Structure 1
Amino acid sequence: MAPYHIRKYQESDRQWVVGLLSRGMAEHIPATFRQLLKLPRSLLLLLGGPLALLLVTGSWLLALVFSLSLLPALWFLAKKPWMEFVDMTLRTDMSDITKSYLSERGSCFWVAESEEKVVGMVGALPVDDPTLREKRLQLFHLSVDSEHRRKGIAKALVRTVLQFARDQGYSEVVLDTSTIQLSAMTLYQSMGFKKTGQSFFCVWARLVALPTVHFIYRLPSSKVGSL
């Protein structure tokens, strides 16, 4: 028997779900910071700035203080896109999860529960685009608590979305993730999702060279029903 079960979201789950979202996004800050340090413009600032200050003032102390003060600033810059995403999400679709995800037949939000604790989550909303020729569902907020990973929970949550899409008559499932989230990209690709492009979801993401990668999963037409 699996050490978890997947069910629909309930209002009593909100605290767990918001915690999963916040912790999950915060986990990516160190990797973003390391990536930021490797950017040519960051290296130029970290190495060239103190050197220029030293040449102008002749003070090693000022050069050292300047160099050290840059690191917290770069950490803030690495942190900003993730915190911006959390704030945006809590103001929009996750401000009222029941209303956003459970009030319409073609959308849903699920949690994975283990030992009476919510340890994973995922949501799905229809893509509202009249120019699309196919009915498309978008997967949102896949997250699993760090202590419950490598148990197949993330894959089970994605499969839940794919099955829901089949049952509801969707032709495609799309999702977005970031280049920093390597394990997520590996998971999606192993399950048959294909990359379709990338973009930057905010100016902060562009500043730290953190593109969003777009994926699509095309459901076999023979398994697609009607809404």
Structure 2
Amino acid sequence: MAPFRIRQYQERDRKKVLELFSKGMEEHIPATFYHALMLPRTLLLLLGAPLALVLLSGSWLLAILCTFCLLLSLWLLARYPWRNYVDTCLRADMADITKSYLSGRGSCFWVAESGGQVAGIVGALPVKDPPLGRKQLQLFRLSVSLHHRGLGIAKALVRTVLQFARDQGYSEVVLDTTILQYGAVGLYQGMGFQKTGESSNIMMRLLAISIIHFSYPLSSLQGERL
């Protein structure tokens, strides 16, 4: 097992961190495409539209062209939410990581370093308007390089956030992920995070994808397992 260490983000990490984050999000595009492709309404459209063209025009060439255009449109549709998410983050908190995460005591950004390379990242920011009586820390941007997976880096990064939250006096850690991020969902559930709900926007409803909300209550006995 290749050794790794977790440390606080430094400005020299910026290029690698942004690259890792962007690539990590774009990895979910194929899964989103396949998920959307297998929806009954998609299959009905892919079968019905070309068949209708054949019956109306008698041209199989038009039918093949129609199928290609539909698949291309579906790929672009599956690609859009992830690319849009990355672009939004790069203009928001990831535009200046030091300012966003390291300017106060209640937030931080870490990198996992292995062999002199940035192998994983995670950030944490206080929730601005938490429920009454709660002090929540939100976990953001967890990602591990494709070449460094299976080493326990993701779990170590999450534990770092949980310990930071304890040290800073937070009552719970919260996070969001999608139903298609199977590895992340399994990781959080395996570490004791509790599902608190689901939501979606117009684009996600179109693709039949939802966002899962998780919480880790540090004040409970569950939090003692760190």
Which range, TM-score by smaller chain?
A: over 0.9
Q: Where do 1:135-150 residues align within 5 Å?
A: 135-150=135-150
Farther-moved stretch of structure 1 (204-213 vs 22-31): 204-213
Structure 1 pair 124–67 and aligned structure 2 pair: CA distance change class (3 A): same
Match of 1:128 in 2: 128
Residues 1:151 and 2:156 are matched in the alignment = no
Structure 1 pair 2–164 and aligned structure 2 pair: CA distance change class (3 A): farther
State the SS of the aligned residue for 1:169: coil
Residues 1:216 and 2:215 are matched in the alignment = yes
Retained in 1: the 8 A contact 2:137–2:173? Answer: yes
TM-score by length of 1: 0.94
Report the residue type matching 2:125 in the other structure.
L
Looking at structure 2, the residues matched to 151 and 132 of structure 1 have their Cα atoms a distance apart, in angstroms, of 38
Q: CA deviation at 1:116?
A: 1.2
Farther-moved stretch of structure 1 (119-128 vs 32-41): 32-41
State the SS of the aligned residue for 2:113: strand
State the SS of the aligned residue for 2:106: coil
Structure 1 pair 155–131 and aligned structure 2 pair: CA distance change class (3 A): closer
Q: CA deviation at 1:26?
A: 1.1
Match of 2:106 in 1: 106
Unaligned 5+ segments in structure 1 are none
Q: CA deviation at 1:73?
A: 1.1
Structure 1 pair 223–99 and aligned structure 2 pair: CA distance change class (3 A): farther
TM-score by length of 2: 0.94
Match of 2:176 in 1: 176
Q: CA deviation at 1:2?
A: 6.5
State the SS of the aligned residue for 2:134: coil
Retained in 1: the 8 A contact 2:130–2:136? Answer: no
Looking at structure 2, the residues matched to 189 and 130 of structure 1 have their Cα atoms a distance apart, in angstroms, of 22
Match of 2:206 in 1: 207
Match of 1:10 in 2: 10
Q: CA deviation at 1:223?
A: 11
Retained in 2: the 8 A contact 1:166–1:223? Answer: no
Structure 1 pair 12–38 and aligned structure 2 pair: CA distance change class (3 A): same
Match of 2:45 in 1: 45
State the SS of the aligned residue for 1:94: helix
Match of 2:81 in 1: 81
Looking at structure 1, the residues matched to 128 and 86 of structure 2 have their Cα atoms a distance apart, in angstroms, of 22
Report the residue type matching 1:35 in the other structure.
H
Retained in 2: the 8 A contact 1:124–1:138? Answer: yes
Looking at structure 2, the residues matched to 22 and 194 of structure 1 have their Cα atoms a distance apart, in angstroms, of 27
- Structure 1: which 4+ aligned runs deviate by more than 4 Å? 221-224
Retained in 2: the 8 A contact 1:93–1:100? Answer: yes
RMSD between aligned residues: 1.7
Question: Residue deviations 1:64-105, cap 9 Å, x none?
Answer: 111122111111111111101101101111111101100011
Structure 1 pair 194–223 and aligned structure 2 pair: CA distance change class (3 A): closer
Match of 1:28 in 2: 28
Unaligned 5+ segments in structure 2 are none
Identical pairs, percent: 64
Q: Where do 1:44-63 residues align within 5 Å?
A: 44-63=44-63
Structure 1 pair 213–223 and aligned structure 2 pair: CA distance change class (3 A): closer
Looking at structure 2, the residues matched to 18 and 50 of structure 1 have their Cα atoms a distance apart, in angstroms, of 42
Structure 1 pair 70–130 and aligned structure 2 pair: CA distance change class (3 A): closer
Looking at structure 1, the residues matched to 41 and 164 of structure 2 have their Cα atoms a distance apart, in angstroms, of 45
Report the residue type matching 1:107 in the other structure.
S
Looking at structure 2, the residues matched to 163 and 122 of structure 1 have their Cα atoms a distance apart, in angstroms, of 13
